[in-house]
Amino acid sequence: EAVFGLFMVFAATLGFISEEVGMHFTIGGFLAGLLLHSDLVGTKQYERLETILSGVTSGIFAPIFFAWRGMNFRAEITLMVLYGFLVVYSVRFLLTVILEWDGKPLSSLAKATGLVSFGILGLLVA
pLDDT tens per residue, range 26-43: 888 888 888 888 788 788
Instruction: Tell me the percentage of the chain whose pLDDT exceeds 70.
Output: 79
DSSP character at residue 61 = I
Q: Decide: 24 and 18 in contact? Cβ < 8 Å.
A: yes
**Confidence (pLDDT) at 22:** 92
The 10s digit of each residue's pLDDT in 54-83 is 888 888 888 888 888 888 877 777 888 889
Q: Residue 10 class from Cβ within 10 Å (0-12 exposed, 13-18 middle, 19+ buried)? A: middle
Residues 69/126, Cβ–Cβ less than 8 Å: yes
H helix runs in 42-120, sequence order:
43-56, 62-71, 79-100
| Distance, CA of 119 to CA of 107 (rounded, Å) | 25
* pLDDT-derived band at 106, boundaries 50, 70, 90: low
pLDDT value of position 87: 94
Q: What is the pLDDT of residues 11-25, one digit of tens each?
A: 899 989 999 999 988
Q: Please report, as a single letter, which amino acid is at residue 30.
A: F
The span from the CA of 28 to the CA of 124, in Å, is 12
Tell me: pLDDT of 117 over 70.
no
Average pLDDT along the chain: 79
Sign of the dihedral through C-alpha 43, 44, 47, 53: negative
**Over the stretch 78-97, which tens digit does the pLDDT of each residue have?**
888 889 889 999 998 888 87
